[in-house]
Amino acid sequence: MSKTILEVTDLRKHYRQGRGLASMLTGEARVIPAVDGVSFYLRENETVGLVGESGCGKTTIGRTVLRLTDPTGGSIVFDGRDITALSRAELRPLRREMQMIFQDLDAGLNPAMRVRAILREALTVYERPSDAEIASRIRELLEQVNLKESKLANFPAELSGGEKRRVGIARVLAVRPRLIVADEPTSALDISIQAQVVNLLRDLQKHLGLSYLFISHDLPVVELVSEKVAVMYLGRIVEMGLAEDIAHRPRHPYTQILWSSLADKQSTEVSRRTRQETVERERRAWGVFDFEHPAGGCRFAPRCPLYEQKGRPAVCTDPASEPRLRDVGRGHVVACHFA
Amino acid sequence: MDALLAIENLRTYFYSRAKRAFIRSVDGASLSVARGETLGIVGESGSGKTVTALSAAGLVTAAPGVIGGRIELRSNGIARNLLDGLERYVRVEEADGHVVSVEKNEPGWRRRVEALMAGVRGKEIAMIFQNPRAALNPYSTVGSQLVETIRLHTGAKGEREAKERAIHWLERVRIDSPRLRFDNFPFGMSGGMCQRAMIAMALSAEPSLLIADEPTTGLDATIQSRIVELLAELKAETRTATLLISHDISVIQRLSDRVAVMYGGTVVETGGTAEVLAREASERHPYTQALLASIPSAETIRRKSYLQAIEGEVLDTIEVPRGCRFYGRCNRVTEGVRERCAGAEPPLAEIAPGHKVRCWLYPARS
Amino acid sequence: MRRFVQAPGPIGEFSKLPLLQRAERLDLVYVGYGLLILALVLASYLLGALGWLPHDPRAMNVELINAAPFTPGHPLGTDFLGRDLQARLIIGIQAYFLPGLLAIAISVAGGAVLGVLAGYRGGWLDTVITYFANLLDSFPRLVLILLVIAVFKPDIYAVMVVVGITGMPETANLIAGKISFLRQKNFIEAAHALGLPARTVILKHILWLNCRALLVIQATLGMAGAIIVETSLSYLGFGVQEPTPSWGNMVQAGANYFLQGNFWPSTAPALAILATILGFQLLGDGLNNILEGKRRR
């Protein structure tokens, strides 16, 4: 039974969007609840996938969990230690254990530094290795990420997408982390390179015992690499469970739409049922969640086909009854009144 | 052959001053689109798919640009070569099978292209681009941009008539409340809606050929599927020939009748979609096969096995190797063909009616 | 017709060449000229400081008023009081150089501090500093300078302090913009995530590695600007006063005799101003292109 390396409880991250100097003085501002009460846990050597569309808050969760930005509420427990309110100084030694692979391929790669310098800097953040040790560690890192030695003398601008991703991973591995938050590690890469990176990440997990929070919108890849998957919509987890259950037996209407959009792209014979649903969806006006005047109740109601089908039941829009995650067996939880 | 657009041996090169070498973006590509058909071009970065489309639309402006080939457009009974007269503006020196120097009168060629493409671009050939909001004019309402297109390229010259047609098209691309959206600016619309507006603009001119460059990339998953649905419906309704470029194989599969796979600036395989993109097919270009294998299949996911990744990096079109461009990464090379693979580039050979492959494992039978 | 030739042989990797080879020839010329001017400035300063001048710049020689160039003993001629032009030109440099250094020290260092504070911390600090910088920027520099002169005596150093302070917003904005760009690329966040201390991130990554070209240009352009301010003020009579030579007041003094046919006493210092300002600006431009690795179109 592996222990829990990360436990997140009721995490909230609200952004205040002020309107310039005036709002600063009056204290009046718009609050955007990017992450609004998220709970999950991650075990050692395990991968939890986080999926959702843009704006759902998955990237924000990644950054908040690593304390790159401070949470507005809730708690984060890393390896048994509550890190929610630790100061920067107290956090510093823990930083090396939890790292992030950023979505942007250029993140962390200073355009004016050659790859060798970038890796050397990463190696000297927490330790003081000798020159010989640095050289041998660099060689080790290159081997781990499958990067040619000739690339050491290059600047980031001269590297291909896949190579940049690998240097980014090597840089993060240099500090010997235990938890890695991978934020869209494969987007912006070619398909054949994506496969290489996915294989690499799984390899590294096997050999180094890493734990991953895998954030991505690429559903098949998430299903492949994760043990558990959480589906997010507008700052909340709407469904969570074993990867297989989420992919093949989704219960929340949003999850169903997400996975079926995959099928839509591929199918050459669109079934009559899905075609009808599509047509109905188009006819409906776009429901957009307005953060300034939240309608209350289920956030997905404006777009929910189930809501329409059941004749717009009041419980879905009742502010007092926002759906909570219910257990439907095998650790599979869903936040919907009708799932 | 009833080809609407026939590209023959297109070569579009760019020049890297840093490396003092040519970037062979498109290095001898040939493909054709028949009337009413959708040809999907699949490829990764550096394959030359986007540059091919831009060359066909006369939108390549960097130097040296298009340096050779023939692009024939047959519509309304007229056949014209969109690269007519190129030889007068370009002089190419080759040695040892490789281009050594290029002399080009760029300004002269630009003028010629504008003259050739007048009346073609927008009217016969319409194009939609990857980033919808960036392609629309941010200072002008969606409606007025549509009306502008309609008045320019169709018979509807009157303001009111054009407006009605514009609203009709907005409806056809399933934009809700089209009369209201007519007065929206691009920044007030979501990515998916901007993409629909761009499709409306392109199709409202009733072109013979639609070039769609990565129309679904950058959009959210659910929006992507809707745009794909829309394109499928419009395809059935309007029967416009389409050149669809994407790196997303599932989109290509859903929308294309035929497929061309590009790698390193050339077409390495072309044929019917079902034939070329079927996972289990046996007779196929090694690249196509390997590419499809790198996408997680239901089986791979079930077994949680490793993906079959292609070794090495995507071809850098500056350092083009001597023989087959895929030789360095190919996992189907046998001893019998190794020498040929390393030495010379294979020609496109037909292995089944309509199905051509560029590989020494399938040599031309002539 | 443009010709593109593929270099024979293996395709080399540009960045592995040493800096001098990577630079465009034109940029090297610019930098060369700029360094030449700088060297002349420093040499002249040194000569002046050590007293190795051909003549005392204040020594009047009533017999040789407005002598033409190449008069024996006075290679550049003399001015309306018989003073040697060459010596006066050399000493004239002292009128602007050290004060100019003060101005650029204030504007670059102050601007960098403001820029980093605004860009790095962001939030309310960014807003406050931006407002402050805009405020500063909106003051007409000349009016402020005249105000300073009216309040204090015409002290060129006080003027240069004003020049420095009014020059801060530009640098601050450029640096804050650069930081904003880096932030967008998750660059700063990634450095934090790795555990790099803030000091390293700011000094090494932001300022040294990414902003040094920017700071160099701001310094050289700042010097060019300071020269213009000093010479203009001296021309108008508010800067360096007679008999101390400044290129500005030399132009003014010679102006009276210009129409009489004595061009040189006015023209020589004017040319010196031109050549020097050009030198500093080209130095900045060329260095920027070389350091940033920009290709000329």
Q: Which whole number is the average pLDDT over B186-200?
A: 87
Length of chain A: 339
C-alpha B269/C-alpha B359 separation (Å) is 9
**How large is the average pLDDT for residues C188-217?**
83
Residue with the bigger pLDDT between B183 and C21: it is B183
What is the band of A75 on the pLDDT scale with cuts at 50, 70, 90?
A: very high
Name the residue in chain A with its Cα closest to that of B44. A190
State residue C278's pLDDT score. 92
Alpha-carbon distance of B107 to A25, in angstroms, equals 57
**pLDDT > 90 fraction of chain A, expressed in percent and rounded:** 40
Band (pLDDT 50/70/90 cuts) for residue A295 is: low
> Do residues C227 and C273 make contact, with C-beta atoms less than 8 angstroms apart?
yes
Give the pLDDT band of residue A294 (cuts 50, 70, 90). Answer: low
Fold of the A4-97+177-334 domain: Rossmann fold (3.40.50)
Confidence class for position C297, pLDDT limits 50, 70, 90:
very low
Give which of B25, B24, B31 is closest to B9, Cα–Cα. B31
Question: Which stretches of A146-232 are DSSP H helices?
Answer: 161-173, 191-208, 219-225
Q: What is the CA angle A126-A129-A135, rounded to 5?
A: 120
- pLDDT at residue A19 tops 70: no
User: Furthest-apart CA pair in chain C: how many Å?
Assistant: 77
Pairwise pLDDT comparison (B20 vs A152), residue with the higher score? A152
**CA torsion angle for C243, C246, C248, C254 (degrees, to 10)?**
50
The C-alpha of A141 sits at a distance from chain C's nearest C-alpha, in angstroms, of: 16
More confident residue, B14 or C58: B14
Residue A286 has pLDDT above 80, yes or no: no
The DSSP secondary-structure symbol of C121 reads: I
Q: Is A110–C205 a contact, with Cβ atoms under 8 angstroms apart? A: yes
**Nearest-CA neighbor of B67 among B23, B116, B129, B18?**
B23
Give the DSSP per-residue string, A308-339. Answer: HHTT--HHHH-TT-----EE-STT-EE--S--
CB count within 10 Å of CB B149 equals: 23
Mean pLDDT of A321-336: 85
The pLDDT value given to residue C15: 58
Interface test with C, best of A15, A110, A119 (most C CBs within 10 A): A110
**A261/B contact by beta carbon, under 8 A:** yes
Tokens of B1: 């052959």
Strand partners of residue A214? A49, A182
B30 and B7 Cβ atoms separated by less than 8 Å: yes
> How much is the average pLDDT of A322-335?
86
As a whole number of angstroms, the distance between CA A245 and CA A139 comes to 41
Range A305-309 contact pairs with CB under 8 angstroms and sequence separation of 24 or more: A305/A253, A305/A257, A305/A277, A305/A280, A305/A281, A306/A253, A306/A336, A306/A338, A307/A253, A308/A280, A308/A284
pLDDT of A178 higher than 90? yes
Count of C-beta atoms within a 10 Å radius of residue B176: 14
Q: Which of the listed ranges A117-131, C12-26, C47-61 does the model predict with the highest average pLDDT?
A: A117-131
Q: What is the pLDDT of residue A288?
A: 45
Indicate the average pLDDT of chain A: 84
pLDDT-above-70 percentage for chain A:
86
Instruction: Return the pLDDT at C245.
Output: 84
The predicted pLDDT at position C102 comes to 93
Q: Are B284 and B306 in contact (CB under 8 A)?
A: no
* Per-residue pLDDT at C106: 94
Interchain pair B250, A265: CB under 8 A: yes
C26-52 per-position pLDDT tens digit: 888 888 888 888 888 888 888 877 777
The tens digit of pLDDT for each residue in C89-138 reads: 888 888 888 889 999 999 999 999 888 888 887 778 888 888 888 888 88
Report the distance separating Cα B197 and Cα B192, nearest Å: 9
Confidence band for A8, pLDDT divided at 50, 70 and 90: very high
Residue A210: pLDDT band (50, 70, 90) is very high
Q: Does C156 score more than 90 pLDDT?
A: no
pLDDT at residue number A213: 95
Q: How far is A177 from chain C (nearest CA, A)?
A: 10
Quick one: pLDDT at residue C13?
60
Give pLDDT, residue C277: 92
CB C149 within 8 Å of CB C159 = yes
What distances in angstroms separate CA C297 from CA A31, B62, B101, C287, one per listed residue? Answer: 47, 12, 20, 17
Residues B314, A192: C-beta atoms closer than 8 Å: yes
Instruction: Dump strand ranges (E) for chain C.
Output: 2-5
Rg of chain C over all Cα atoms, to the nearest angstrom: 23
Tell me if chain C has a CB within 8 Å of the CB of A97: no
Summarize pLDDT for B268-305 with one digit per residue, the tens: 999 999 888 887 777 889 999 888 888 888 888 888 88
CB pairs under 8 A between B and C: 45
The residue length of chain C stands at 297
Residue A46 pLDDT > 90: yes
Dist CA C225 CA C237 (whole Å): 18
Using CA atoms, how far apart are residues B183 and B180, in angstroms rounded to an integer? 6
The percent of residues in chain C predicted with pLDDT above 90, rounded, is 9
Q: Residue A199 pLDDT more than 90? A: yes
Dihedral sign, Cα of residue C179, residue C181, residue C183, residue C185: negative
Query: Is the pLDDT confidence value at C164 over 50?
Result: yes
Size of interface A-B (CB pairs under 8 A): 103
CATH numbers and ranges of domains, chain B: 3-124+207-358 (3.40.50.300)
DSSP, res B144: H
- The span from the CA of A131 to the CA of A120, in Å, is 10
In this prediction, residue A289 carries a pLDDT of 47
Residues in A touching B176 (Cβ below 8 Å): 282, 284-286
3-state secondary structure of A264: helix
pLDDT of residue C27: 80
Min Cα distance A188 → chain B (Å) is 10
Residue A279 in this model has a pLDDT that exceeds 60: no
> What burial class does residue B164 get, using C-beta atoms within 10 Å of its C-beta: 0-12 exposed, 13-18 middle, 19+ buried?
middle
Domain boundaries, chain A: 4-97+177-334
Please work out, in degrees rounded to the nearest 5, the angle formed at the alpha carbon of residue C101 by the alpha carbons of C96 and C104.
Answer: 115
Say how many CA atoms lie within 13 Å of C206 toward its Cβ.
Answer: 31
Q: Given a cut of 70, is residue C23 above it in pLDDT?
A: no
A286 touches B at CB < 8 Å? yes
- Residue A326 CA from chain centroid, whole number: 22
Question: Using the 8-state DSSP alphabet, how is residue A157 labeled?
Answer: G
Domains in chain C, CATH or no CATH each: 24-292 (1.10.3720.10)
Averaged confidence pLDDT in chain B: 87
Q: Let me know the angle formed at the C-alpha of A41 by A38 and A44, rounded to the nearest 5 degrees.
A: 155
**pLDDT > 60? residue B331:** yes
- Least CB-CB distance to B294: which of A191, A264, A278? A191
**Average pLDDT of A2-14?**
90
Task: Using the structure block, give the residue that is written with the tokens 């300063």.
Answer: C45
Mean pLDDT of the B73-91 span = 86
Of B18, B99, B104, the CB nearest to C6: B99
In this prediction, residue A183 carries a pLDDT of 93
Residue C181, chain A, CB below 8 Å: the answer is no
Mean pLDDT of chain C: 82
